[in-house]
């Protein structure tokens, strides 16, 4: 059986187009944004935010929508632009810098780590939507003055931020609001 040059060319063209038709679209990348808060005084001069602990179910590139009903709902093509624990730490440093202008706040993983007068340890146990669609941020916090002048502040915190819609941008915006509420609580613990 003889295959004509034209048939061969058409078949080759069809095979060349096939991988492009099957390719998935690139993921949409998201980031949390710093939310402004009230300016406070009385915090230590140098503060180190330790690397943020994160519940393992949140430690993934795709955004977790919810974790209720014994299921974890994960987005397939909406991802974080960086690891969630690093992003939370980066945004909290910016938020604490804004709230505590007389202090300098550094991340533990930064190449610049001066001698701390206070440390902040944070473990995020939940950061997703609840059954009503609002974002829930639950975390454990420890604020320690390195000179021992005040007892450590240890607390379990929970913040709920309503989302303006059911889409991912609305969820990320509500997550940024909830993270700002957490920054307010940390700043108050440092200034107290």
The per-residue pLDDT for 55 is 98
Q: Which class does domain 31-191 fall in? A: alpha beta
Could you read off the pLDDT of 68-84 as tens digits, one per residue?
Answer: 999 999 999 999 999 99
Give the other-Cβ count within 10 Å of 2's Cβ: 4
What contacts 24+ positions apart, CB below 8 Å, involve 89-92?
89/49, 89/51, 89/52, 91/32, 91/33, 91/34, 91/176, 91/179, 92/49, 92/52, 92/122, 92/179, 92/182, 92/183, 92/186
d(CA 170, CA 47): 32
Tokens 């503060």 map to which residue? 47
Model pTM score: 0.87
Domain ranges of the chain: 31-191
Could you read off the pLDDT of 25-62 as tens digits, one per residue?
Answer: 999 999 999 999 999 999 999 999 999 999 999 999 99
């Amino acid at each position: 059986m003889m295959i004509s040059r034209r048939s061969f060319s058409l078949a080759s063209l069809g095979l060349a187009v096939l991988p492009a038709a099957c390719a998935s679209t690139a993921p949409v990348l998201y980031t949390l944004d710093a939310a402004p808060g009230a300016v406070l005084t009385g915090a230590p001069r140098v503060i180190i935010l330790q690397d943020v602990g994160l519940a393992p179910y949140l430690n993934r590139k795709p955004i977790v929508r919810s974790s209720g009903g014994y299921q974890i709902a994960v987005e397939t093509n909406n991802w974080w632009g960086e690891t969630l624990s690093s992003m939370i730490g980066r945004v909290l440093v910016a938020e604490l810098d804004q709230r505590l202008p007389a202090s300098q706040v550094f991340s533990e993983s930064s190449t610049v780590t001066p001698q701390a007068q206070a440390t902040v340890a944070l473990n995020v146990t939940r950061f997703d939507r609840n059954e009503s669609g609002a974002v829930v941020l639950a975390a454990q916090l420890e604020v320690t003055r390195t000179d021992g002048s005040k007892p450590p502040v240890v607390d379990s915190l929970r913040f709920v931020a309503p989302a303006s819609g059911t889409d991912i941008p609305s969820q990320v915006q509500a997550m940024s609001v909830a993270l700002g509420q957490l920054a307010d609580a940390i700043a108050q613990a440092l200034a107290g």
